[in-house]
Copies of this chain bind each other. A is one copy, B any other.
């Protein structure tokens, strides 16, 4: 297991309040990619007083501190995920919405090469694959 978000905040000097700590905890425990509404629902169960404005503010703060990443998948609202060393991309099931994480070193390498070829240093990238499940017993 890797560091919790709370630990990362300590390391990066991001001040934690009760609300932030709660949001950190819920995001650390999430194994999916919740949007703000969903996250708000989850934290509200524990602290019904929390404001959605605080949730928005906090995910933004965490994102700017390099603790969360924001995904803007096709035609949906922004979704958030804990940012860990092991970067990955996403394969999205267009029927069910299920999200599968994957890493492909070869693709990563080729991306860098493409950028270099055009005279650029790659600083970020976004790769999303959209697919439909294959019928395996055909």
Contacts and interface: CB of A to CB of B under 8 A. Distances in A.
Contacts of A100: 118
A56 interface: no
A123 B132 CA distance: 7
Contacts of A75: 72
Contacts of A115: 91, 129, 131
A132 B115 CA distance: 9
Contact of A72 (B72, B118, B122): B72
Interface in A97-138: 100, 102, 104, 106-107, 110-111, 114-116, 118-134, 136
A74 interface: yes
Interface size class of A (residues with CB under 8 A): 20 to 34
A93 interface: yes
B134 A123 contact: no
Contacts of A61: none
A102 to B, nearest CB: 6
A23 to B, nearest CB: 21
Nearest to A125: B129
Nearest to A101: B118
B129 A122 contact: yes
Interface of A: 72, 74-75, 91, 93-94, 100, 102, 104, 106-107, 110-111, 114-116, 118-134, 136
